[in-house]
Structure 1
Amino acid sequence: MTPPRLIRFNKPYGVLSQFTPEGRWRGLKDHIDLPGVYVAGRLDADSEGLLLLTSDGALQARIADPRFKMEKTYWVQVEGIPDEAALAALRSGVVLNDGPTRPARARRLDPAPAVWDRHPPIRERKAIPTAWVELIIQEGRNRQVRRMTAAVGHPTLRLIRAAIGPYSLEGLAPGAWEEVRG
């Protein structure tokens, strides 16, 4: 019996969290050609960063199911400069249309994280500055991070998942993947 596999993948902008393409979005098969691995959790096509794939159903559930409270770390480029009140609101949980979020860890990243260029680039407006925020959550509702930053008055311009639990993006270029050993 082959041991379970765990793959770290840096999902580029415009790629779905599924193997088959759909509409204007590409699928994972353009980057990963491995039989028997499945996505553990989702990342929207317009988001970037760490996606884990595994051949182990129990591990897939532990990663994806909010009941296991595996932390997910996001680097979020937002419109405007969040003040302490906006960050405090994120930390205490914000009310979304589907109910309140759990409290999150939130801080401004200054300096901004060293990230790759996005293609296409984000929309920037000369009169409105942008800032990077690190947001760490333990749930994963549909477009939750984007809705949270919008709820505190700072719409998301770019969203990168930097880590899931102990697994990080470190050392992975966009579109690259590697098997986690041990």
Structure 2
Amino acid sequence: MTNHYRYILFYKPYGVLSQFTQDTPARSTLKDYIQVPDVYPVGRLDWDSEGLLLLTNHGQLQNRLCDPQFGHERTYLVQVERIPDPTALKKLEAGVLIKDYRTRPAKVRLLNEAPSLSDRNPPIRFRKTVPTAWLEMKLTEGKNRQVRRMTAAVGFPTLRLVRTAIAHLQINGLQPGQWRDLKSRELKLLHKLMFPVDFLKKYKY
């Protein structure tokens, strides 16, 4: 089933477009990092966001992962301006109104200390008079610039955004600009998540 398919995890750096074609000479693309033919990103990360991106040439899996019907958890580390209060955190968890859309319930927690991440290049704009905080946010949807719009809606603009996980797939072990193929166990769990009926037929316990 998977012999001719490729499944790649990539740590997208800041300032890199989630595509292989270049729209301006000033911006890097996936082509600058990944020389594997015919793989395409599943979903996207904005050019000013960092973190985990899954690429594959398995079209059916790509469609499932992008289909809201098969919502899977995405985990983000989010640096915001100022320290969110419990009211703001509850609003993010319950869902906030963005234009004419209300976001799905999310898991949100305020971190006690900054996470261990690679430095961003360029670093965020630092202001002595404005403290910052880090949130861990787990969403089951991926609307355009959703995390940034959510934190802005409750009054705490996003300064830095790093996706650390897509379902069970973790960014651990990768540095910005690095990629690797999925391990067999990771791939098996991904198929179980996206194709539960087919998975049960293939793997009978």
Aligned match of 2:6: 5
How many Å apart are 1:147 and its aligned residue?
A: 0.2
Aligned partner of 2:23 in structure 1 is 22
Cα separation, 2, equivalents of 1:98 and 1:33: 40
Q: Which residue of 2 aligns with 1:137?
A: 139
The DSSP-based 3-state class of the residue aligned with 1:86 is helix
Matched, 1:104 2:106: yes
Q: Which amino acid aligns with 2:75?
A: T
Question: Alignment partner of 1:9: what SS?
Answer: strand
Deviations 1:119-164 (A, max 9, x none): 1111121101000001111111110000000011100000000101
SS in 2 for 1:26: coil
Greater percentage in helix: 2
Q: Percent identity?
A: 57
**Number of the residue aligned with 1:68:** 70
> What is aligned with 2:199?
none
Q: Is the 8 A contact 1:10 1:175 kept in 2?
A: yes
Query: Equivalents in 1 of 2:62, 2:80: separation in Å?
Result: 30
Residue 202 of structure 2 corresponds to none
- Which residue is 1:173 aligned to? 175
| Range 27-36 or range 17-26, more displaced | 17-26
Per the alignment, residue 37 of structure 2 pairs with 35
Distance (Å, rounded) in 2 between the aligned partners of 1:19 and 1:110: 38
Question: Which residues of structure 2 form unaligned runs of 5+?
Answer: 185-205
Partner SS state of residue 136, structure 1: strand
Asked if 2 retains the 8 angstrom alpha-carbon contact of 1:20 and 1:26, the reply is: no
d(CA) in 2 for partners of 1:176, 1:163:
15
| Rounded Cα–Cα distance in structure 1 between residues aligned with 2:98 and 2:129 | 28
TM-score (norm 2): 0.86
Secondary structure of 2:10's counterpart equals strand
* RMSD between aligned residues: 1.1
Unpaired runs of at least 5, structure 1: none
Q: Is the 8 Å Cα contact of residues 92 and 104 (structure 1) preserved in structure 2?
A: yes
Q: CA deviation at 1:168?
A: 1.1
Q: Which residue does 1:56 correspond to in 2?
A: 58
Shift of 1:21: 2.2
Any idea what SS the aligned residue of 1:89 has? helix
- Please give the alpha-carbon distance, in whole angstroms, between the structure 2 residues aligned to 1:172 and 1:149: 27
TM-score, normalization by structure 1: 0.96
User: Structure 1 stretches (4+) deviating beyond 3 angstroms?
Assistant: none
The answer to whether the 8 A contact 1:62-1:70 is kept is no
- Which structure is larger by alpha-carbon Rg, 1 or 2? 2
CA distance in 2, matches of 1:9, 1:85: 35
After the TM superposition, which of the residue ranges 6-15 and 109-118 deviates more from structure 2? 109-118
Letter in 2 for 1:152: V
